[in-house]
Each structure stands twice: as structure tokens, then as C-alpha cells.
Amino acid sequence: MAALDAIKRAAAMRAYDFVDKDPEQNIPRLIDKYIDLDDARAAVGMAAHVRDNFNDPDSNWRKFILSLWNDVDPGVRRHLFESLAVNATLLGNAKRHECEKKYGCNIPWAILMDPTSACNLRCTGCWAAEYGHSLSLSLEELDGIIRQGEEFGCHVYLYSGGEPTMRKADLIRLCEMHPECMFLAFTNGTLIDEAFADELLRVGNFVPAISVEGFQRDTDFRRGKGTYQKVLQAMSILKRKKLPFGISCCYTSKSAEFIGSESYFDAMINWGAKFCWFFTYMPTGKDAVPELMATAEQREYMYRQIRKFRKTKPLFTIDFWNDGDYIGGCIAGGRCYLHINASGDIEPCAFMHYADSNIRTDRLLDAFRKPLFMAYHNNQPFNANPLRPCPVLDNPGRLTEMVELSGAHSTEVVAPESARDYCGKCEEKAAKWAPVADRLWRESGKADH
């Protein structure tokens, strides 16, 4: 298998290197070669969709793909193609599927982990703000997680926190130790400076996803006065050095209309962002502010706006909840990803702070076969309507059942919260979203397929 993977990798990279001679003519040929190499057929549909859109001279996706050749450093672009498209998807998916069959459990495509719970900001409603002291995973522990993941085909590692760039040196070291992997950090962006950007340019396999809460008023409302200007400075540095980066947006009841506006999408593109990852506010932890949860009307607004601009704007977008129809519902519990917090607890999701295993006592493959993760595996999808994917926000009782039956415990550090109490904060929103989601699902035309 290793020899065959090496042959496929070499073939894919030869095809990639051919593209640089004439991207407009050769990108479709690269995609065709990629499809030929995908024996597991794991990414054929996605690749064909990209090719068809690129061949349309009026497509915004053609403009977006060409921007990757115009706006991104060639060495970084090549490194990311190899780690993400080849190692993680072309080769990694095949290994993941083999492991799923062998072990009878979910095997993740990506792992999200918190290098530290420490943060230089105190954002309103953020669970990290409740920690009175810093928790952290050592460099050796982070390296161990990655090494275990590589064994079952996982080559994508995401960082959250806390603020992950408070561990800049260790993050760069992990890029050096694992050049075959891709790393992404959800970061407030305020610690990105010229020196760190130069390191990102050198290693080539690290992409920041910068949190921006709309324009200045909304960003500074949650993150503190002056944050917006620091974020703009960070994005300016990354854009000037031709480093790819994206935006991470948590829309709330106070910011949804701004974040979903055309002017905001245009602003992200002008800043130089290549993608945006949208989240909706979740009332996690004792300092949560349920009033910040988006209404059903606001969630539908975001659903419609993001899909509308996907057809017209050269920006890749992901909506963590509202894109359930593209991925078959909930992606947590190792189905596509999982979360490891700064205490080492192996959680099914960044928004589900419960665990029955820890990296300091359990290997990942053992954790995936313990009761909590197997409950996810055995119950996904949690709703026949993939626009209601979440076992908390959309189907509140489902998380309560899984946590109580598995014996999992709350991983909240300061004030442990029962799954029943957490879900209780979402019951009203779930009830109001249900008829809206069902209507949208019928309107999509996919409900009968």
C-alpha cells in the first residue's frame, strides 16, 4: 500500500507541476488526472464539480481558482495541494475507509485540538474566557496525536483554544515535524506579525482562519476595543506576503445581518481571504449568553445569503450547521472530525464539552470505540432532515441521551454543566428552527431523493 501511495502521490504532483506552465489551460487536466488516481472514488464528485465550474468562463469559481495562482506564493500553494488534496483526501480517505471497516467506528478526516486554553482576549460569551488559569497540551502530546492520526489517514489538523498562536514556536515546530500534513488555526489574529508570517511562508503548510465578527462595531463588541484594527493589520501582512488565509465568523443575534450582507462578503474578498468558515453562536459554559443565539429567521437569512453568494463571489464558504445537506448531517464524533481540549479530553465536537476518554490514558482508536463516540456512530444522522443536523442545537434531547447512557462527564473546567442543562438552553431555538428547516429542505428538492 505504501508503494502504491507513493506512486499516486508522485503522479499527482507531476500533474500539478505541469499546471504552472499555463494554469488556465492545464487546471482541467490536473483535475482529470486527480479523478483517474482516485480509486476509492472518495472525491470524484467534488473534483468533477470543480472542473465543470472552472470550464465555465463566467463562473466565479474559475476566478477563485485562478486567484490561487495569482495571489498565493507558489511554494506554499504546492505544499498545500500535496498535503490537503493528495495526502488528506486522495490517499487519506482510502485509508480512513479501510479503518472504518476494520474497527467498526468513525474515523476522522480532521482533528481539532487546543494547544492552550490561554487567550490574550476576553470575548463576550466565549467558554475560554471562564478559565482562571492556563491549560495546555505539551509539544510531545500534540506530536503524539498527529502521529496516531497519520496511522489511520488523517492529515488535517486544526487548532482552537484559547488562542493557539500564543504557542507560535510549537505550532511552527509541528509544521516542520509533519510536512505531509496541513495545519489550520482558528485565531483572533492579533498576534500575527511580520516574523510569524515569514515563518508561515517558510514552512508552507499552515493557514490562519482569522475570527472577524463583522465590521468594527461588531468585532469590537465581542472581542474588545481596538481588536478590529489589529485584525486588519494581520490580514494586510498575510496578503502582502502571498500567504493564504481565511475568515472565521461566529454570527450572533446582534451580528447576523452584518455578516450575511453583500458588503461584508465583498470586504472579506478585498481583505484577501480565500475562504470563510461560518458558525452560529452556541451557549456553551457558565458564562454563555443565550440572548446571543441567532433566531430562526436569522439562521434562514444566513442559509440563503451564503448560498446566494456561492454562485457569484470568488470566496470558498463553509456553514458549519446549515451545510448539513452536503455532508449528510452531523460531522462530529469522529465522523469527519473531533475535538481534543487543552486538558487532553477527547470530545466529539468543539461545542460538546463531554468526554469518556483522554489522550493521556487512551489511544485515539480506543477512544473512538468507547461508548460516547460509538453513540455518535450508531445514531448519526440525528435527523432525517440534514438541515437539522446537531444533537444539541437542532435535536436537544439526543446529546443528553448519548452522554447519560455512555457515562461521559462534563469537561468544563470551572463549572461542569450537565448535557441536560446545556440542551435545555437550546430547546426553544430548536423548536422554532424545525419548521423553517423542514420548509427549506422541501424547497431544496432533495427531500424526495
* Triad 313, 315, 320: Cα angle to 5°: 115
pLDDT tens digits for range 56-71 = 999 999 999 999 999 9
Q: Residue 435: which of 270, 286, 274, 299 has the closest Cα?
A: 299
The strand ranges marked E within 130-181 are 156-159
Q: Residue 303: which of 289, 320, 328 has the closest Cα?
A: 320
Q: DSSP labels for 212-253?
A: --SSHHHHHHHH-TTHHHHHHHHHHHHHHTT---EEEEEE-T
pLDDT tens digits for range 90-116 = 999 999 999 999 999 999 999 999 999
Q: What is the residue-averaged pLDDT of the chain?
A: 93
Rounded to whole angstroms, the Cα distance separating 393 from 299 reads 12
Would the pLDDT of 219 be above 80? no
Q: Count Cβ atoms within 10 A of the Cβ of residue 227 and give its class: 0-12 exposed, 13-18 middle, 19 or more buried.
A: buried
Rounded to whole angstroms, the Cα distance separating 149 from 365 reads 9
pLDDT tens digits for range 312-336 = 999 999 999 999 999 999 999 999 9
Residue with cell 461521559: 408
Q: Count Cβ atoms within 10 A of the Cβ of residue 203 and give its class: 0-12 exposed, 13-18 middle, 19 or more buried.
A: middle
User: For the ranges 42-46, 282-286, 407-411, which has the lowest average pLDDT?
Assistant: 42-46
> In 10 A of CB 7, how many CB atoms?
11
Q: Count Cβ atoms within 10 A of the Cβ of residue 270 and give its class: 0-12 exposed, 13-18 middle, 19 or more buried.
A: exposed
Crossing angle for the helix pair 396-406 and 371-379, nearest 10 degrees? Answer: 140
What the chain holds in terms of domains, given with CATH numbers, is 2-97 (no CATH), 105-449 (3.20.20.70)
Better-predicted residue by pLDDT, 202 or 130:
202
Would the pLDDT of 133 be above 70? no
Question: pLDDT at position 227, please?
Answer: 86
Q: Count Cβ atoms within 10 A of the Cβ of residue 240 and give its class: 0-12 exposed, 13-18 middle, 19 or more buried.
A: exposed
Question: pLDDT at position 36, please?
Answer: 94
Rounded to whole angstroms, the Cα distance separating 267 from 265 reads 5
Q: Are 338 and 347 in contact (CB under 8 A)?
A: yes
pLDDT tens digits for range 426-436 = 999 999 999 99
In the predicted model, what is the mean pLDDT of residues 275-279? 97
Q: Residue 80: which of 212, 254, 213, 201 has the closest Cα?
A: 201
Rounded to whole angstroms, the Cα distance separating 301 from 295 reads 10
Please, how many CA atoms are within 13 Å of residue 62, restricted to the half-sphere of its CB?
Answer: 12
Q: Where are the alpha helices (DSSP H) in 354-409?
A: 364-368, 371-379, 396-406
User: For the ranges 98-107, 391-400, 412-421, which has the lowest average pLDDT?
Assistant: 412-421
Q: Are 222 and 267 in contact (CB under 8 A)?
A: no
The amino acid that residue 386 corresponds to is P
Q: Are 32 and 50 in contact (CB under 8 A)?
A: no
Question: pLDDT at position 4, please?
Answer: 87
Would the pLDDT of 40 be above 60? yes
Q: Are 113 and 339 in contact (CB under 8 A)?
A: yes
Question: pLDDT at position 125, please?
Answer: 54
User: Phi-psi category of 62—alpha, beta or left, where left has phi over 0 and alpha has psi -120 to 50?
Assistant: alpha
